[in-house]
Amino acid sequence: MSQTSPRLNLPFLQPSQAQKHVTHNEALRQLDLVVQLSVVSTSSTNPPTTPEQGEIHGLGANPIGDWDGHAGELAAWIDTAWHFLTPQTGWRAWDQADGHMKLWDGSGWVNPPVETSNLPGLGVATGYDSTNRLSVRGPATLLSHEGGGHQLKINKSGSGETASLLFQSNWTGHAEMGLSGSTGFSIKVSPDGGSWTDALRLDPATGIASGAAVQNSPTDTTAGRLMRADYGYGPGNLLGSVSENAGAPTGAVIERGSTATGDYVRFADGTQICTATLTATGCTIAEGALFASNTETWTFPVVFAATPSVSGSGGSAGRFVGADEPSTSQVVCKVLSTTSDATARAPSLTAIGRWF
């Protein structure tokens, strides 16, 4: 029959043994050391000068002094001497210096493994509740990569639910971005956490932007709103083909062009200007007190929406242009002079009206 226990090496009482109390007390002392084990530190290396009765240290890799040669063992101060005990795999000890439970894994004291799956909640430096099952209190939260990129995924069960980031001040929401009640990305703002304004919405199919921060019509000039490409104008559509829909401009700001009969400029507001230099001519045909050129028909380079106003220059200070009532597409005109003048000079004409 063995004289000691198999796990803690506690001495057994033997038949007809004298002074059985000595053996019994030795077993109690060893139990007193290891039951509810608490150590000053699990990495002690230098023996204290005045240890207290029952003080236990977990020795580090290179202890010195009275602990020399006992690396990894437990050192207990009992009755004015150090007693050493070798921990067994799986022993647990409270590390007073570290403030944590430690586990002996056969070669050192380590933190016990923790099961992190399906936890009811987790609070870091704060508590959690049934809604905020993960709560973190601190100046910052870092989510980093492990050699590549990193994604933060916020998933919802259906399109009508919400997957968003909510920004609060003193626990009152003032801004929210994400998928709020739809699959379109939006940014919402609130002055009080109760009334909300969709500042920006992006259509998931087209990417087109809308919302309170964007123009809602061609005539919307609300200060601070973003200009829409189909309502506003910029370098991309300053020059090009003008167009309109029910009187509202939908194309470029200015359109320029020319044909065989002259040049034209169209503006987004509907204004149209046509110009041309006609055939050089003299004024030798007597017409009352004046002298005239042959009549000429000027076909406008582009048609007007209504009868335009026509004016021109005869080519010199003594000449002027006379014109009949124009149509939307042409005008008949001649050059008049106060004296008979056979010098061929080219008259120039301008027609101003609207293209819509």
Q: What backbone phi and psi angles, to 5 degrees, belong to 110?
A: -130, 165
In a domain, 31, yes or no: no
Taking Cα atoms as reference points, which of 137, 42, 51, 60 lies closest to residue 99? 42
Which residues span the domain enclosing 103? 36-110
3-state secondary structure 223-255: CCCECCCCCCCCCCCCECCCCEECCEECCCCEE
CATH code, 344: 2.60.40.3940
Tokens, residue 54: 């029952």
Global pTM? Answer: 0.54
Do 221 and 189 fall into the same domain?
yes
Specify the pLDDT at position 24: 66
Please answer whether residues 347 and 318 qualify as being in contact, where contact means their C-beta atoms are separated by less than 8 angstroms: no
In a domain, 137, yes or no: no
Do 214 and 260 fall into the same domain?
no
Do 262 and 228 fall into the same domain?
no
Please answer whether residues 121 and 109 qualify as being in contact, where contact means their C-beta atoms are separated by less than 8 angstroms: no
Structure-model confidence comparison of residues 229 and 207, the more confident one: 207
Do 224 and 300 fall into the same domain?
no
CA 115-121-125 angle, 5° bins: 95
Length of the chain: 356
Do 307 and 341 fall into the same domain?
yes
Which amino acid type is present at position 332? V
Do 205 and 269 fall into the same domain?
no
Q: How far is CA 63 from CA 43, 57, 188, in A?
A: 9, 11, 63
In a domain, 296, yes or no: yes
**Once rounded to an integer, what is the mean pLDDT over residues 218-243?**
82
Do 322 and 267 fall into the same domain?
yes
Do 319 and 283 fall into the same domain?
yes
Instruction: Read off the pLDDT of residues 294-327 as tens digits, 9 standing for 90 and up.
Output: 999 999 999 999 999 999 999 999 999 999 999 9
- How many domains, the chain? 3
Specify the pLDDT at position 114: 84
Do 228 and 272 fall into the same domain?
no
In a domain, 87, yes or no: yes
Instruction: Read off the pLDDT of residues 183-192 as tens digits, 9 standing for 90 and up.
Output: 999 999 999 9
> How many angstroms separate the CA atoms of 243 and 219, rounded?
16
